[in-house]
Amino acid sequence: MATIRDVAKLAGVSVSTVSRVLNQNGYVNKETEQKVVAAISKLNYEPNAMARGLASKKTGTIAIILPDISNPFFPELARAVEDVARTYGYTVFLCNSDDHSDKEKSYIDVLHKKYIDGIIFASNTLTGSEIERMQKQNTPFVVLDRTPDQQSCSIVRSKNYLGGRLAVEHLLEVGCKKIAHIYGPQYFSTARERLMGYEDCVRGYDWFSPSLMIPGDFSMNGGKKAVEILFQRFSDVDGIFIGNDLMAVGALKVLNQKGIKVPDEMAICGFDGISLSEMIEPEITTIAQPIYEMGALATRILIKKIQGLEQQNQCYELDVKLVPRESTRRGTNP
């Protein structure tokens, strides 16, 4: 396999001259450039992408840092990122932070040393100091799904508060008389906003009590535990808005084990719109986020930043929609 030194020898020039031709960086006269190009063609020389990256500080790679790869929501986001990145000629590195800030910081350091071109963050552990550090290092990045405390960056997310309201309004429309909410960790902006949507909808009802709001952890087991707590507190709840689909699957399993009929005795609505929510019985009504569109938009914005075509920092909020399924279809209700 030919090397850059072989090209330089055949063209009768220095290695640095070949490098300038390859990277289009620095002056090379036309005649010399033609000799280098001819030598490259004759030797079938293929430049090493990493070596070129070391010279140009561009490697044709981006990374996405996810908080929990076991949650189906995030692989669906990552799929969109990869699909769009490939159309622009970029390779994607997938990093799983487990929502640990130290692990995320370690990834940022490693990616910076590897000359990654840009990073998409779908994690909640990104701090203001890390944002400031990346900006000083001129590392292009976009925050996806979650909103850091410091918002001087580009953010792509969905309308979580609106989704919370849509879920509760739907449960009321199908006849629910007392609605609980299983919410996600409140250090997640998404979970806080969904809870606020629930609370603003039900605060005026005589049956409302803060104890109807049960904490979960966005996991299947979290949904199971939260439903058990709910039944220890109340016996007359007939509707539950659950903060994500994964917890809704766990909650549905407990309801089935207890012999509680869904939706006739208990109607449930999840949030996210992951494919898992329609693969079980009964299929779960959900507030669907445009998962693929979110990932695709974040990737296009990041690539524009890498190419110097996007300078502004904006928050892009995408619409959510109610997807009614069997878990809320009572009687003649559609």
Q: Which of 257, 245, 272 is nearest to 327 (CA)?
A: 245
Same domain flag for 264 and 167: yes
The pLDDT assigned to 149 comes to 65
- What percentage of the chain has pLDDT greater than the value 90? 62
Q: pTM, whole model, 2 decimals? A: 0.81
Position 37, amino acid = V
The pLDDT assigned to 213 comes to 98
Q: Is residue 120 part of a domain?
A: yes
Same domain flag for 278 and 192: yes
The pLDDT assigned to 56 comes to 55
pLDDT level of residue 129 (50, 70, 90 thresholds): confident
Check whether 325 has a pLDDT greater than 90. yes
The pLDDT assigned to 108 comes to 87
The pLDDT assigned to 64 comes to 96
Phi, psi dihedrals of residue 55, rounded to the nearest 5°: -80, -40
**CATH number assigned to the domain comprising residue 41:** 1.10.260.40
* Average pLDDT value for residue range 157-182: 97
Mean pLDDT of the chain: 90
The pLDDT assigned to 275 comes to 93
Q: Is residue 143 part of a domain?
A: yes
Same domain flag for 109 and 129: yes
Same domain flag for 172 and 206: yes
Same domain flag for 297 and 152: yes
Same domain flag for 166 and 202: yes
Which domain, by its residues, includes 258?
160-289+322-328
Q: Is residue 10 part of a domain?
A: yes
From residue 274, alpha-carbon distances to 64, 184, 231, 271, 279 in Å are 19, 16, 27, 8, 10
Same domain flag for 167 and 314: no
Check whether 50 has a pLDDT greater than 70. no
Query: How confident is the model over 292-308, as pLDDT tens digits?
Result: 999 999 999 999 999 88
The pLDDT assigned to 52 comes to 55
Query: How confident is the model over 234-262, as pLDDT tens digits?
Result: 999 999 999 999 999 999 999 999 999 99
Same domain flag for 153 and 166: no
Q: Are 251 and 269 in contact (CB under 8 A)?
A: no
Q: Which two tokens stand for residue 245?
A: 């689909």
Placement of tokens 């109340």 in the chain? 234
Same domain flag for 282 and 171: yes
The pLDDT assigned to 334 comes to 43
| DSSP one-letter code for 88 | T
Query: How confident is the model over 174-203, as pLDDT tens digits?
Result: 999 999 999 999 988 899 999 999 999 999
Query: How confident is the model over 17-49, as pLDDT tens digits?
Result: 888 877 666 778 888 888 888 888 888 887 665
From residue 180, alpha-carbon distances to 57, 177, 242, 267, 287 in Å are 52, 10, 8, 11, 16
CA 286/CA 272 separation, integer angstroms: 7
pLDDT level of residue 330 (50, 70, 90 thresholds): confident
Q: Is residue 15 part of a domain?
A: yes
- Angle among Cα 58, 308, 157 to the nearest 5 degrees reads 100
Q: Is residue 271 part of a domain?
A: yes
CA 16/CA 86 separation, integer angstroms: 31
Q: Which of 287, 291, 301, 208 is nearest to 248 (CA)?
A: 287
Position 332, amino acid = T
Q: Is residue 302 part of a domain?
A: yes
CA 170/CA 161 separation, integer angstroms: 14
* Average pLDDT value for residue range 148-152: 68
The pLDDT assigned to 137 comes to 84
Query: How confident is the model over 265-293, as pLDDT tens digits?
Result: 999 999 999 999 999 999 999 999 999 99
Q: Is residue 56 part of a domain?
A: no
Total domains, the chain: 3
Q: Are 69 and 97 in contact (CB under 8 A)?
A: no
Q: Which of 326, 330, 307, 245 is nearest to 62 (CA)?
A: 307
Phi, psi dihedrals of residue 174, rounded to the nearest 5°: -85, 5
Same domain flag for 150 and 209: no
pLDDT level of residue 333 (50, 70, 90 thresholds): very low
**CATH number assigned to the domain comprising residue 273:** 3.40.50.2300
Same domain flag for 67 and 14: no
Q: Is residue 134 part of a domain?
A: yes
Same domain flag for 140 and 176: no
